[in-house]
Amino acid sequence: MAQKRVVTYTLKNKKEPIKMIHKILILILLSSVVFISCNKNKNNTQEISENSFDKKGLLENYATNIIIPNYNSFSIALDSLILTYNTFKTTESTADFVIVKQKLHSAYLKYQQINLYEFGPAEQQLVRANFNIFPTDSVQIKSNILAGSYNFQTSDNFDAKGFPALDYLFYDVNKTETQIIQSFVSTINKKKYVSDILTEMQTKTKTIVDSWNSSYKSQFINSLNTDIGSSIGFLINQLNYELDYLKNAKIGIPLGKKSLDNPYPTKCEAYYGQQSVQYAIATLAAIESMYLGKSSSGMDGIGFDDYLDHLKASYGSTSLNTAIKNQFNIVRLKLTNINGTLSHQIEVNPTVVNAAYAELVKLLVLLKTDLPSHLGVIITYQDGDGD
C-alpha cells in the first residue's frame, strides 16, 4: 500500500507576517495623517478667508454711515412734524393742516429706513410695537379720546398710537378734510391725543439716538463674531425679519395669504392715507441698502454683498451676491407694477399683487437660507409661516 505524501510549506522566516502587518498599519496611519492634514488645511483656509474679511470696517460703515444718519434723519422729520402740528393747533387752518399731512408722510417714509434696526437701543424702546402696529384700532382710539386719559405703555394701546393712529386721525375715510379739521377744532382731547402720540415717539427716538451716539456705537462695532447676540447676527436677523414683515404684514395679510385667500384690504399699512405701495417700496429699498452697505446719500460702503464675494459664495452658475441683487431688482419691479393704492388693487387686480408676493418669497429664501448659511449666522426669530 502506497504511503500518502504529505506536502508541507514552511516559512523561511517566521517574522515575515509580522513585518507585513506592520507595513500595512504604517500605510494606514500615513493615509490618515494625510487625510486629516488635508481637511485641516481646508478648514484653516476657510477660517483664514472668513477672518481676513474686514468685519470691523463693515460694522463701522453700518453704524457711522447708515444707522445713525438714518435715525438722525428720522428724528429731524419727526421734529418737523411736531412743529407743524403745533402750528396747526393754534391756527386751525386748512393750509397748515395740509402741511401737517405732508410732514406726516415724510416722517413715515423716514421711519421705513430705521424699522429694520430693532436691536440694542431700539429693542429696548420697542420701536415697532410703539410706532407702527397696523391695522390701527379706531374703536380704541375713539374710546381714549372720549375718556381723555389713557396709558400708552399698556399693550392694549399698541395699535392705538404711532403712525397708524395718526394716519387714521388725519385721513379718516368717513369724513371730508373740512370735517376732519373741524373735529380737531371742536375736540380738545383729540388735539391732545395727537400731541401725546408725537411726544412719546419723540422721546423714544431721542433715547435711541443718544444711546447710539454714546456707548452703544462702540459696543456694536467691536462685536466681531457671527454668533447669537453678535452685531452681524443682529443685522442678518433683522434684515430677514423686516423682509418677512414686508412679505406678510404689508402684502400677504391684506392679500389674504393668511386667511385662505380671503383678502383684507383695510389691513394695509397707511390704509387711510393710501401710501401703502410707496412705503412697501421704501422698506424694500432700506433692506437692500442694508445688504449693500449703502447710505441714504448713495455712498456704497462695505456690506454683506462684499462679504459674500470675499467668501466666493456661489449660487448655481453665478455668485450668490449676483443672484440676490438680481432678485431685489425683480421684486422692486413687481411692487412698482402695483398701480394706484394697494387696497384697491387687491380688490380689482390681485394678480399683480400676487406676482409681487411670489417674488418676495424667492428673495426671502436667498436672504434667510443662503446668506446666513455662508456667514455662519443662526436665524433666531420665528415668523410663523415656514417661509
Residue-wise pLDDT tens for the chain (387 aa)? 444 444 343 334 444 544 554 555 555 444 444 444 444 444 443 444 556 899 999 999 999 999 999 999 999 999 999 999 999 999 999 999 999 999 999 999 999 999 999 999 999 999 999 999 999 999 999 999 999 999 999 999 999 999 999 999 999 999 999 999 999 999 999 999 999 999 999 999 999 999 999 999 999 999 999 999 999 999 999 999 999 999 999 999 999 999 999 999 999 999 999 999 999 999 999 999 999 999 989 999 999 999 999 999 999 999 999 999 999 999 999 999 999 999 999 999 999 999 999 999 999 999 999 999 999 999 998 764 545
Please provide the DSSP assignment of 209-225 as one string.
HHHIIIIIHHHHHT---
pLDDT at position 52 is: 87
CA distance 45 to 27: 27
Side chain identity at residue 303, one-letter code:
G
CA distance 72 to 67: 9
| Beta strands in the chain, from DSSP E residues, in sequence order | 314-315, 318-319
Give CA torsion, residues 369, 373, 378, 384, to 10 deg.
Answer: 10
Whether residue 352 contacts residue 377, with contact meaning beta carbons closer than 8 Å, is answered with no
Side chain identity at residue 338, one-letter code:
I
pLDDT at position 375 is: 96
C-alpha cell at 247: 412679505
pTM (whole model) above 0.85:
yes
pLDDT at position 381 is: 86
**Residue whose grid cell is 397696523:** 134
Is 25 buried (19+), middle (13-18) or exposed (0-12) by CB count in 10 A? exposed
Domain boundaries along the sequence of the chain = 54-223, 225-387
pLDDT at position 66 is: 98
pLDDT at position 20 is: 52
Residue 117 CA to chain centroid, in angstroms? 7
pLDDT at position 41 is: 41
CA angle 81-84-85, nearest 5°?
Answer: 80
Whether residue 64 contacts residue 212, with contact meaning beta carbons closer than 8 Å, is answered with no
The class level of CATH for 54-223 reads mainly alpha
